[in-house]
Amino acid sequence: MPYDGPMRPLVLAPALVLGSLLASGAAPRAGAGDAPPVAPPVAFAVPVGMPITLDGRLDPGEWADAAPVALGVPGLTVRTKHARGAWMLGVALPERWPLRGDLRLYTTPAPAAADDAARFDRPGSALLDVEPNDHNRPHAFLQVRVAPPDGPPRWTRTDDRALVRFDGLRKAATAEIVVPLDVLGVTGRDAAALRWTLAWAVPGRAPSLVTFPAGLDLGPAAPDTLPPDFATTARWARTTFAEPAGPGILPKATFDALVAESRDLTQRGERAHRTVLALLGAFDELPVEPTKVDAPLEAALDDLRWISLREPWSRDDGRAYATALWKLNRAPEALGVLRAMVADAPWTDHLEELRLAAMIAQGAERFDEAEALWTALADALPPEAAGTYRRHATTVKEVAAQHRATLDARKADDAKDDLPLVLLRTSRGDVTLRLLEDDCPEAVKHFVHLVEATKTADGVPFYDGTRFHRVVGAGLVQGGDPTSRGDGCATAGSGGSPWTIAPEPNARHGLFRGSVGWAMALDRRIRSQFFVMTTPKPELAAEGFSCFATVVAGMDVVDRLQQCDTLISARVLRKRDHPYVPEKR
């Protein structure tokens, strides 16, 4: 079905079955074997401390007054304190934040009696889920349990009430987290208590979930039930906050500005990623071959640049940025972004980036680099998964040889200096074509005849005013359909000259970037539509397509063309001294 929502899921998955229980909004039932533990809760002091500068960096002077939380994970440091109505957590790792790793804070207002237990699904409970790598953008989900007057209790998202900043996600990762205490149900001037627990979750590690207090069971329960240590909070930590209410750790205007910036980070990140995913055909309503439209891609690049000035890019951000550049026909820049992303880590930590870099290097006609990248990807994978990429490396090596031969042929054509030239004047600028008459004489006669001797019914040169009706980023530009003039561009693609010619192979020139070829109908007839390659596709030769011209000036103009841009005019600049009349069919 069509996708029309934000890119982040609307449901959290805190711990297997628990996630679906929270999302349902229905009160889960305790199972028969879920009797509350009798062990008293851990009493944990969260000290009053100095406010922090919310920048994601754990400055020792800011965090020396915070209490350490023991999660039992080597290298993971969590500290917590509160001040001026806000709870603050600092998180530090000695290396990059693990993929799909998240830190979760569960809270619920504590009953009056210290030994009484509470249920996590009672109104006032909250769950903060900090995930810097998932769902495309660094973010923190905050859900609060509310009891509306017109319905049963339910979980509601209130993400913008929590502020999170990250730093160094790919090396020595740190994060600073601020949650107003009133969001957690701790208000007023009198002392108030919370039951709470922290969980560090990394899928694939053993154990995958560690907690503070240690040993809590957050695993799966029976259907419609909470796990035992969520059916009651008896084993959670219990903390009393003295005079929790305060003016806030920041002036209201500053806090509101940070909230607004966090909202912008999320919204602009979602918009940028949605644009790129749409370009790749990730949503059902999109065509398999998305049309190149520059404005949304340029906006995505602007959004991602803006984000980079405020917090570290996620790996998804970097891939999205590189993909947008690639589909704007800026493959060398895209490849540079990916090289920078992995410069400080081995390729094995960046398999997605490695695969994308190999594809883009191939599109940029840097075949030796593409072969090395495909090989590195194969080497990083188990044998059963590596075969496809080793075949890619072999294919690229073969394509590289074809490319070298094509470049040699183009140099030889330069030396001749007598082949016909045609100037295409487009709405984006001028493009000069060299027609390969010695290789494809009938194809060249056909093109020159259309340019010079063929007119419309009202006397207009055949190609003048037609549109480029098919433009694919990192693919090709196609035009030459006389029905594309005016408002016909959107439906063009089946029109052409009143006669046809036969396909004509070209053994010297492969279909690489800057190659010009004739489009063919399903019956293999050639009429008047032609294409210019913006990326190499030599394999098209096996389908009968061939190169009859090459771009010798203005390839940057071709790269900028978009669907329905106009071919203002086509004029022959130079030709040999003989008639150019093709063998018409």
Model confidence over 431-450: pLDDT tens digits?
A: 999 999 999 999 999 999 99
Kind and range of the H or E element at 143? strand 139-146
**Dist. CA 536–CA 533, nearest whole Å:** 7
Mean pLDDT score across all residues of the chain: 85
Residue 286's contacts (CB-CB under 8 Å, 6 or more residues apart) are 278
Q: Are residues 458 and 379 in the same domain?
A: no
Q: Are residues 406 and 308 in the same domain?
A: yes
Query: For residue 132, what are the CA distances in angstroms to 5, 57, 335?
Result: 20, 15, 24
pLDDT given for residue 1 in this prediction: 25
Q: Are residues 26 and 150 in the same domain?
A: yes
pLDDT given for residue 241 in this prediction: 83
State yes or no: pLDDT of 228 exceeds 50.
Answer: yes
**Dist. CA 60–CA 46, nearest whole Å:** 18
**Full domain range(s) for residue 506:** 421-574
pLDDT in tens, 514-551: 999 999 988 889 999 999 999 999 999 999 999 999 99
Q: For the chain, how far is it from start to end, CA to CA, in angstroms?
A: 46
pLDDT given for residue 16 in this prediction: 30
Q: Are residues 275 and 150 in the same domain?
A: no
Whether the CB-CB separation of 516 and 396 falls below 8 Å is answered with: no
pLDDT in tens, 171-209: 788 999 999 888 888 877 667 888 999 999 887 777 678
Within a domain: residue 2? no
Instruction: State the CATH number of the domain containing residue 556.
Output: 2.40.100.10
pTM of the model: 0.78
State yes or no: pLDDT of 24 exceeds 80.
Answer: no
> What are the phi and psi torsion angles at 2 (to 5°)?
-60, 140
Q: Are residues 364 and 338 in the same domain?
A: yes
Q: Are residues 228 and 357 in the same domain?
A: no
pLDDT given for residue 537 in this prediction: 96
pLDDT given for residue 166 in this prediction: 87
Domain count, the chain: 3
pLDDT given for residue 572 in this prediction: 98
- Among residues 390, 413, 436, the one where a domain terminates is 413
Within a domain: residue 270? yes
**Dist. CA 167–CA 214, nearest whole Å:** 27
Within a domain: residue 402? yes
Within a domain: residue 531? yes
Give the residue with greater pLDDT, 30 vs 214: 214
SS in 3 state form for 456-506?
A: CCCCCECCCCEECCEEECCCEEEECCHHHCHHHHHHCCCCCCCCCECCCCC
pLDDT band at 151 (very low <50, low <70, confident <90, very high): confident
Q: Compute the average pLDDT of residues 29-43.
A: 44
- Express as a percent the part of the chain with pLDDT over 90: 52
Q: Are residues 405 and 436 in the same domain?
A: no
Q: Compute the average pLDDT of residues 134-157.
A: 84
Instruction: State the CATH number of the domain containing residue 323.
Output: 1.25.40.10
- Among residues 250, 284, 303, the one where a domain terminates is 250
- Among residues 184, 217, 250, the one where a domain terminates is 250
Within a domain: residue 12? no
Give the residue with greater pLDDT, 410 vs 147: 410
State yes or no: pLDDT of 15 exceeds 80.
Answer: no
Within a domain: residue 584? no
Q: Are residues 246 and 154 in the same domain?
A: yes
Instruction: State the CATH number of the domain containing residue 179.
Output: 2.60.40.1190
State yes or no: pLDDT of 112 exceeds 70.
Answer: no
Within a domain: residue 165? yes
Query: For residue 225, what are the CA distances in angstroms to 137, 157, 211?
Result: 32, 22, 20
Give DSSP secondary structure letters for 161-214.
GSEEEEE-TTSS-EEEEEEEGGGGT--SSS-EEEEEEEEEE-TTSSSSEEEEST
Within a domain: residue 6? no
Q: Is 55 exposed, middle or buried (0-12, 13-18, 19+ CB in 10 A)?
A: middle
pLDDT in tens, 446-462: 999 999 998 888 889 99
pLDDT in tens, 260-311: 888 888 889 889 999 988 877 644 443 457 889 999 999 999 999 998 888 7
Positions of E strands within 345-465: 421-426, 429-435
pLDDT given for residue 302 in this prediction: 97
**Dist. CA 529–CA 238, nearest whole Å:** 74
Kind and range of the H or E element at 545? none
pLDDT given for residue 340 in this prediction: 87
State yes or no: pLDDT of 14 exceeds 70.
Answer: no
**Dist. CA 466–CA 138, nearest whole Å:** 46
**Listed range (73-87, 189-203, 240-254, 398-412) with the worst mean pLDDT:** 240-254
Q: Are residues 272 and 378 in the same domain?
A: yes
**Dist. CA 74–CA 83, nearest whole Å:** 28
Q: Compute the average pLDDT of residues 464-474.
A: 96
Q: Are residues 409 and 425 in the same domain?
A: no
**Dist. CA 547–CA 556, nearest whole Å:** 19
pLDDT given for residue 36 in this prediction: 37
Q: Are residues 458 and 371 in the same domain?
A: no
pLDDT band at 332 (very low <50, low <70, confident <90, very high): very high
In the DSSP assignment, the letter for residue 29 is: P
Q: Are residues 341 and 470 in the same domain?
A: no
Task: Look up residue 315 and give its two tokens.
Answer: 């790996």
